[in-house]
Amino acid sequence: LFLNSPVHLYTTFQLAFPAMPSARTPAIGDLVFVPCSSLPQKRGARVSLGGGAEGAAAAAAEGSAAYADVAFLEGRVVALEGDDGDRAVVEVLPLDAAQGQTEQHSIPLRELRSRFPREDGKTCADNTALVHMNDATILENLRCRHAANEIYTYTASVLLAVNPYKDIPGLYGEEQCAAYRGKHIGACPPHPYAIADAAYRALTREDRNQGLLISGESGAGKTETAKIVMQYLAFASNSSSKHADQIQARVLRAQPILESFGNAVTMRNNNSSRFGKYNRVFFTASGSLVDAGITTYLLESSRVVVHAEGERTYHCFYEMLAGLDSETLKTLNLSRTGSYRLLCPDGVEKPLQGFESRDATNFKRLEDALHTLGLDPETIGSIWRTLAGLIHLGDLDEDFGPSSDSDDSSGLELNRVSLHKAAGLLGMDPDVVKSTLTMKKVKVPGRTSFHEVPRSVSQFRHALLSFIKALYKRLFERVVAKLNEAFRQMRPEKPLGDEETWKHIGILDIYGFENLERNSFEQLCINLANERLQQYFVENALRAEQDLYNREGLPWMDLPLPDGRPVFNAISQAFRILDEYSQNLTKGVGNATDKGFCQKVLEDAQKDAERNRVLKPIKIATGGRKSIVGGLGVNDAFTIKHYAGQVQYNTAGWLDKNNDRLLTECECLICDSTDHLVRSLGEEEETTAKPVFRSISKKYQKDLEMLLETLSTCNLHYIRCFKPNGEQRPDVFQNGLVLDQVVQCGTIELVKIMHDGFPNRCSFQEITNRFRDLLPESFQRYGMRTFIEALMLAYDVPQSDWALGMSKLFLKAGQLSTLEGLRNSGASVDPARLAEIVRSIVRKRWRRGVHAILLCNYIPKLMQRIRIEKARKKLQVAVLLASRLSTSLAAARARIQQRRLASRRRLAGLFHSIHLVQGQWMRVQKQRKEQLLVRVQHAFRLHFFIHRSAGAALGRARRTLEAAREQRRLEAEEAERSRLEAERLEQERLEQERLEQERLEQERL
């Protein structure tokens, strides 16, 4: 309750920003706003839900609950106290003073805000025209305009939009678009059409990319505002071209698709965007629409598997059940009235009711949009089958829920009916799906084989939920890719001009700053984006102020800017440590835990003075180990001081959340699917690679840097959206809630920047109408500029506190309230002072007239003198040139004659040289011919001698060779005769031995 109370909201504001500087210290009798946090036990104020008597009656009937939540109370300073007069006694009408009794409280002066009542009930379309520029008066102006159905307000160049939660007749449409077309901001009432038209005209005029940054928390109307801007751009670029009409249709049809797949019902908003998107619409140099593109950021994939009571998951699931015909639902094994765990909050058996008719209508719109963007029926059917498969996957576990997690693998039973339904729709084998989710493959050390072990209940649920989240996230990315592909298909075959000359208008619809009861990894990513965009906002707001001063002819002075780099550095360093711990957890290195990560972040922040001022440990209760809020330990969370206040981040589960890689077994399931769409969602390279870590924080920071780089090429326009109440009810304005958003969106920072210059700026016409009664009617005939100057002089406004521009009066803080006070009090100027001012005006006009006459007489004489002076200077130049040229001419003629003689001598010498060279060359050629002849003769003789010697040598060689051959032949014949003789002798010896043996044998016998 404390987190949602006005005291907490304003306390957050006080932590983020000290009291804004005031033009002067409040004095006795001044009307002021008093912060509720400065009063004891105050929780509201006397601002009823409705207006007039009806609102008062409702408040009396319902008690204090019928009053809008506010952050400031009205009061009046009745006395000053304190040693230095730094406190004031303020008379305040509290909430419970039904009869109007007042109470007095002692309040520090620095906490009071000056107040100016507007009896006429009029509001300011631009907050810079307020008498007092502070958070309380801006809040009051927004409240009054919201009550009058004037939901749009400017603050300088920034448009503030308060969600009315109802239709306001006559606010939108082609007629209104035509009224804003070609009009400068301020010419018509505040409206997104004006911002969109300014961007469109700047794109065609300056040939520079434009960007519209639409921010705000969930339920503030960012998505609707983005659609309003897109509608106007489609209107502004309207042409008779059929191609342009088709592009416009697809641009407008893309929004329902993104809403169905990326939006959900939350506690704060029935159509909350759960992702960031940057829509780009491309135009030619002439302003014709030629292309479009969509980039998305950080889809909240965890919402697919878990959402709180009173919320829903993404619209597409419910719209599919409500819109598909019964026959198609039967093929998907779905029932229109069935209860599915994926679509129900944790612990609830039925999904959130009350949206059935809207879901059916939106499904028809979704199907029409998908067909308009060129998706064929087979692709659309594959999308429905995939969504239906995810629904059945959610019913695999009979005891689904984090409360039943355990490390025991026994008792894990899957719903076989849901298993077969899911596997069939996703094109997978039911047994493989069951094995993948319930069994874990463990590699056997020293072998290439794997051993399967059962997963515990918690491991099974982690695998199942990761599988569902990954499939839906990739399906969402595929749908976005199909949208962009549909835009690319519409590009003309003959492009309208060079594509490099195309410029775009980008519309950034991104989540606002978040400070929830439990902030986690997603909130840190979201708040980092808001920090970076806030820095962009402040820098561009300062640049816009500088441009305004230049247009109005006022001198510019440098103003101090807040520096968000310490916060950027602290978050970036925390993400680097998170990557290190997540990678170690993936590899199984060391003891990587969430508590260890948090401890490391806090220890690392203490080493740097800047980061230590930004990132701090949580506050621990006295004498305990748990935090004051949430009961967290010292290593369970840390706090970061953002531009919008301190946020406590719970680091539980961050190591797992930061890893975007799916289990290898689950990746194989997707890649092996027989369904074409599901199989295309797989990542083949992840099925064979070793388990690796893929950082979500690093990718998010990279995407954010690319977004900021894109925005740096754009001229930026800002729309800040606010939700007036937490119940999404029309005609209810909770001041405390709106103040919190005003602080978080940076509007107060913009006011602080403007406060150092001239924060109040009013047109001459407005000043003349508002304060014409402060001067006699005779002053009206002097003209608005002279009237305003006389007004400043009559009431002794210091010259340093006001300045006249080309079309506006610029005032320091507090001076406009002084003039309003004088008007309300019926003050009049001393006649002698008026007479002096009239005389000064008359003297000034006489001086102007005399100066004009003198100028008229002086100009012809001046022009004549200028002409004479020009003629004299020209004559002097001519004479000087002639005198210099005469001597130079004689010298030039002498030099020319000398050069001519020298040239003749050089020419004669050249001829002689040529003749000599020719004679010498002829002699050389003759000598060369004679030498060549002698050499030829010698060569011939040498050739003849060599030829004869070579012939003789060849003959001798032949004879020697023949003799050698004959010698070898004779030797061979001799060797053959010797061999034959040896064989004959051997045979004779053998024959003798045989005869001898026969003889010996006979003798023996």
Confidence of residue 188 (pLDDT cuts 50, 70, 90): confident
Q: Residues 811-830: what's their mean pLDDT?
A: 70
Listed residue (280, 341, 272, 357) closest to 305, CA to CA: 341
Which pair of tokens denotes residue 839? 């005389």
* pLDDT for res 385: 94
Q: Mean per-residue pLDDT for 692-711?
A: 85
**What average pLDDT does the segment 461-481 reach?**
90
> Which pair of tokens denotes residue 527?
């708040």
CB 674 within 8 A of CB 424: no
Provide the residue type at 924 as one letter.
V
pLDDT above 70 for 45: no
Q: How confident is the model at residue 398 (pLDDT cuts 50, 70, 90)?
A: low
- Reading the block at residue 28, the tokens are 């006795």
pLDDT score for 17: 37
pLDDT for res 366: 92
Q: What confidence tier does 625 reach under pLDDT thresholds 50, 70, 90?
A: low
Q: Is the pLDDT of residue 681 over 60?
A: yes
H or E stretch covering 768: helix 764-771
Sequence-distant (6+) residues with CB within 8 A of 404 are: 457
CA neighbor of 746 nearest in space, from 723, 721, 713, 726: 721
Quote the pLDDT of residue 932.
Answer: 92
Rounded to 5°, angle at Cα 908 from 904 and 909 = 115
**pLDDT value at residue 57:** 33
Helices 735-744 and 6-16, packing angle to 10 deg: 20
Q: In the prediction, which pLDDT does 240 show?
A: 46
Which pLDDT band, with edges at 50, 70 and 90, does 923 fall under? Answer: very high
Average confidence score pLDDT of the chain: 81
d(CA 508, CA 537): 13
pLDDT tens digits for 283-294? 887 788 888 888
SS (H, E, C) 914-937: HHHHHHHHHHHHHHHHHHHHHHHH
Q: Is the pLDDT of residue 160 over 50?
A: yes
Mean pLDDT over 719-732 rounds to 88
Asked if the model's pLDDT at residue 65 lies above 60, the reply is no
Identity of the highest mean pLDDT range in 241-245, 717-721, 736-740: 717-721
How far is residue 256's CA from residue 450's CA, in Å, rounded to a whole number?
47
* CB-CB neighbours of 887 under 10 Å: 9
- Looking at mean pLDDT, say which of 515-524, 551-560, 618-627, 825-834 comes out highest: 515-524
Residue 442: CB atoms within 10 A of its CB come to 10
Question: pLDDT tens digit string along 430-460?
Answer: 999 998 888 887 766 656 666 778 888 878 8
Cα–Cα separations (whole angstroms), residue 198 to 182, 235, 547, 714, 716: 8, 14, 15, 13, 11
Q: How far is Cα 811 from Cα 800, in angstroms, rounded to an integer?
A: 9
In terms of DSSP bridges, do strands 714-722 and 158-162 run parallel, antiparallel, or are they unpaired? parallel
pLDDT given at position 461: 85
pLDDT at 29: 83
- β-bridge partners, 637: 650
Which of 212, 207, 204 is closest to 230 using CA atoms? 212
For residue 153 the two structure tokens come to 């307000």
Residue scoring higher pLDDT (601 or 452): 601
389 within 8 A of 426, measured Cβ to Cβ: yes
Q: What local confidence, expressed as pLDDT, does residue 550 receive? A: 78
Contact 745, 800 (CB under 8 A): no
CB-based burial label for 842 (10 Å; 0-12, 13-18, 19+)? exposed
What's the angle, vertex CA 969, arms to CA 968 and CA 975, rounded to 5?
85
pLDDT, one tens digit per residue, over 202-256 is 888 878 899 998 888 777 888 789 889 888 888 887 654 566 667 777 777 888 8
Residue 272: what residue type?
A: S
Per the DSSP assignment, residues forming a β-bridge with 647 are: 640
Angle at Cα 534 formed by Cα 532 and Cα 535, nearest 5°? 65
State the chain's maximal CA–CA distance in angstroms: 191
Structure tokens at 231: 């509608």
Q: What is the token pair recorded at 960?
A: 């020697």
Nearest-CA neighbor of 480 among 283, 343, 297, 632? 297
Whether the per-residue pLDDT at 58 is higher than 60: the answer is: no
Distance CA 39, CA 26 (A): 18
Cα distance between residue 803 and residue 789, in whole Å: 9
Q: What is the pLDDT of residue 277?
A: 85
Residue 712 token pair = 């740096």
Q: Which tens digit of pLDDT belongs to each residue from 907-917?
A: 999 899 999 99
Q: What is the pLDDT of residue 655?
A: 87
Residue 354: pLDDT band (50, 70, 90) is confident
pLDDT, one tens digit per residue, over 277-332 is 888 888 887 788 888 888 888 788 888 888 878 889 999 999 999 999 999 999 99
Per cent of the chain over pLDDT 70 is 84
State residue 492's pLDDT score: 62
Percent of the chain with pLDDT over 90: 22
Contact 93, 46 (CB under 8 A): yes
Cα separation, 602 vs 612, in Å, equals 8
Q: What is the pLDDT of residue 193?
A: 94
Distance of CA 236 to the CA centre of its chain: 25
- How is the beta sheet containing 87-92 ordered, strand by strand? 103-108, 87-92, 72-81, 31-35, 113-114
**Cα–Cα distance between 645 and 10 in angstroms, integer?**
10
Whether the predicted model's global pTM rises above the 0.95 cut: no
981 phi and psi, to 5 degrees? -70, -40
Instruction: Tell me what pLDDT residue 449 has.
Output: 61
pLDDT average, residue stretch 831-850: 79
